[in-house]
Amino acid sequence: MKVVISVDMEGVCGVASWVQVSPPEFGGLVNAGEYQAARERMTREAGAAALGALAGGATGVLVNDSHDTMRNLLPELLPEGVRFTSGNDKPLSMVQGVDEAGVGALLFVGYHARAGSPRGPLAHTWNGFIRNVRVNGVDTGEYGLNALVAGHYGVPVVFACGDDVAMGEIREELGEQVVTVAVKEGLSTYSAIHLHPLEAQRLIREGAERAVRAVQDARPYTAAWPAACELSFDHQARADQCERVPGVRRVDAVTVGWDSSDALHLFGMFRMLARVADVRLNA
């Protein structure tokens, strides 16, 4: 059985500021050192999960870079034999690879809480202006959207690590089948208490091994289809643009809705509307 590891950066041990997770081309050279340190810890946490998965019985591991430009991993720090993806124009984005033959489990590394979560360090969903995502009345974040896409291919989420707020949200939505490891305790949007990075990596490796060994008890995450979907923004101008897309309806001043027949349609609509909504607010 092969596994896919989706690795983000905001939930990585030691991270509590946008400066740390912004590639220098976007944040300027002032943050180059902090970003470099964060991407190293991101890679080491992904590597720890990979080693744990292999110890738990996985026959192959694909690490999918899932943060921002998706060009953050330092491949030389990954365990030998592990494959990885890079580049942000991937058909399945943060869960690229779950559609491969033989994949039986998805692991989340470096995950963060959804937009609007109190105490969640760098809590957001996809970008800085999405306020909420709702599927059949359930508020969700990147973890829920990604789990639904994996579930479309029959792949369960078995492991997650990141901040404690995100881990609570993941267990609540995806179920106790997910082995979770909190590598930091959120104090506010921009502060947290962190484990030592080596301890975090050890716990991640142990948790991933335990999760993969128990994969036979895990079930893919799904929703009742067709699903009623809603997307809320920080400004009504974004909803103005999205309302013009065929099949999209206006729910309120800052929210649009649509119906999806399956997870791939939901994910495709979500990604498209996030792009459509990315407009200048001072035109």
CB of 155 closer than 8 Å to CB of 219: no
CB atoms inside a 10 Å sphere around CB 29: 8
Return the amino acid letter for 86. S
Give yes or no for a cis peptide into 226 (omega within 30° of 0). yes
Locus of tokens 């990075």: 197
Please give the positions annotated as active site. Answer: 124
Q: What is the DSSP letter of 80?
A: T
Return the amino acid letter for 34. E
The span from the CA of 114 to the CA of 166, in Å, is: 7
Query: What confidence score (pLDDT) does residue 23 get?
Result: 87
Query: What confidence score (pLDDT) does residue 225 get?
Result: 98
Cα 153 to Cα 5, 23, 66, 157, 263, distances in angstroms: 15, 32, 19, 12, 10
Query: What confidence score (pLDDT) does residue 25 get?
Result: 72
3-class SS of residue 111: strand
What global pTM score does this model have?
0.96
Query: What confidence score (pLDDT) does residue 281 get?
Result: 83
How confident is the prediction along the chain (283 residues), in pLDDT tens digits per residue? 999 999 999 999 999 999 999 987 765 555 778 999 999 999 999 999 999 999 999 999 999 999 999 999 999 999 999 999 999 889 999 999 999 999 999 999 999 999 999 999 999 999 999 999 999 999 999 999 999 999 999 999 999 999 999 999 999 999 999 999 999 999 999 999 999 999 999 999 999 999 999 999 999 999 999 999 999 999 999 999 999 999 999 999 999 999 999 999 999 999 999 999 999 887 6
Query: What confidence score (pLDDT) does residue 32 get?
Result: 77
Cβ-proximal residues to 65 (8 Å cutoff; 6+ apart), any chain: 7, 71, 72, 73, 84, 85, 86
CB atoms inside a 10 Å sphere around CB 263: 24
CB of 170 closer than 8 Å to CB of 143: yes
Q: Which domains does the chain possess?
A: 2-124+142-217 (3.40.50.10780), 227-276 (no CATH)
The span from the CA of 134 to the CA of 232, in Å, is: 9
The span from the CA of 120 to the CA of 262, in Å, is: 29
CB of 194 closer than 8 Å to CB of 227: no
**Among candidate residues 7, 146, 141, 111, the one with its CA nearest the CA of residue 64:** 7
